[in-house]
Copies of this chain bind each other. A is one copy, B any other.
């Protein structure tokens, strides 16, 4: 079992009590509740409040063990996974398997512009989110001491690239942060912060059905976010972002803080597995799997989650898909059968700000307060661990009542 995200973890748990020995390999010692990572970036939650040690999760599952390490290759013939042992730097181990489940997930890609990465951290990993938290908070600090008006406005301008759920949620949070901070600064009016949401298509939340994108856009504008649709990013550096509109006109926006939330690509594990198995990958680096989630010609290997495309199906790279695929793989292993995976769409939700959200619940479209409460409920339910649930609920209650942010700590001082 490779990868302790939504898919991998559900696969492990699905094998509880089964007559198999499960080894879960992950680079990190914790499971990260990715849908809330953006709340770490804006100082609403602490990183540990959305993470649970993998060992703790499978503590009572006697047939499972956890190995902290990085998978860097597959030998399908000899049925070996090679693992770089991380605690003891430099150790490599060859792990034999009878059945293999690979769930490496995805990451953001900078469309071939990796030189942008230092100026626009991504929002999928904890280090990215913590880096962003520092940058966002330091930007307000810098604005407070900056005498020049233009330079100050550049510190107070935030560009978010990509208007998927993460980009939208992040934009809403930064706009709200500007409101929250207004009483804490003396020289600067934090409400004058500009939040620009750059999106290449003609709508925000493009994966959601009409009229939700339009509603979300309206809610964002109410919060003070400026969506810049049909606009692509052509350059990012420490002082700003250059964008191009649909007519090909280029504009430079002075902004000291940029956030990357666009262009998902599969984990490199997908490519390595595809190479070993002679399988296809798509443009986003995802490996093609059979309808039963196994690799063609390798019924002993399952690949699931964000890093795969299921033959004949179009599925979003969202947590529920990965979770259901994980459960399906476990069930197939447990019963020794292979059957086609079918996704049960229970809906999708994106929150935009305090008491604002849009989404679908089964086939109903919801927005506003109802959607927001549902979003809260769903996220609390799927957070692992009672302790995290209580702590996160506490923080959210305080945020709701006081509009405060409980986790605004700048760890690193360098920018």
Give me the interface of A with B, judged by CB distance under 8 Å: 27-30, 46-49, 51, 53, 55-56, 59-60, 65-69, 85-89, 91, 93, 126-127, 130, 137-139, 141-142, 144-146, 181, 183-187, 385-388, 390-391, 394-395, 398, 404, 406-411, 413-415
Query: How far, in Å, is A87 (CB) from chain B's closest CB?
Result: 4
Given contacts A29-B141, A138-B87, A406-B388, contact A185 B55 (CB under 8 A): yes
Contact A53 B395 (CB under 8 A): no
Contact of A391 among B55, B126, B391 (CB under 8 A): B391
Contact B60 A183 (CB under 8 A): yes
Query: How far, in Å, is A213 (CB) from chain B's closest CB?
Result: 34
Q: How far is the CA of A39 from the CA of B32 in the complex (A)?
A: 22
Contact B145 A410 (CB under 8 A): no
Contact A406 B394 (CB under 8 A): no
Contact A408 B87 (CB under 8 A): no
Contact A68 B391 (CB under 8 A): no
Chain B residues near A385: list those with CB within 8 A: 406
Contact B29 A410 (CB under 8 A): yes
Query: How far, in Å, is A203 (CB) from chain B's closest CB?
Result: 35
Given contacts A59-B184, A387-B398, contact A89 B409 (CB under 8 A): no
Chain B residues near A142: list those with CB within 8 A: 87-88
Contact of A408 among B29, B85, B181, B411 (CB under 8 A): B29
Contact A67 B145 (CB under 8 A): yes
Chain B residues near A413: list those with CB within 8 A: 27-28, 86
Residue of B nearest to A394 (CB): B390
Contact of A387 among B145, B146, B394 (CB under 8 A): B394
Contact B391 A394 (CB under 8 A): yes
List 17 A-B residue pairs with CB atoms under 8 Å apart, sorted by A's residue number: A29-B141, A29-B410, A30-B410, A46-B48, A46-B49, A47-B409, A47-B411, A48-B407, A48-B408, A48-B409, A59-B183, A65-B186, A66-B184, A67-B144, A88-B146, A387-B395, A390-B394
Chain B residues near A415: list those with CB within 8 A: 87, 89
Q: How far is the CA of A130 from the CA of B48 in the complex (A)?
A: 12
Chain B residues near A60: list those with CB within 8 A: 183
The 5 A-B residue pairs whose C-beta atoms are closest, nearest first, are A87-B142, A55-B184, A87-B141, A48-B407, A46-B48
Chain B residues near A66: list those with CB within 8 A: 184
Most buried by B among A55, A86, A87, A394: A87
Q: How far is the CA of A89 from the CA of B139 in the complex (A)?
A: 12
Chain B residues near A53: list those with CB within 8 A: 184, 408-409
Contact B391 A404 (CB under 8 A): no
Q: How far is the CA of A146 from the CA of B51 in the complex (A)?
A: 26
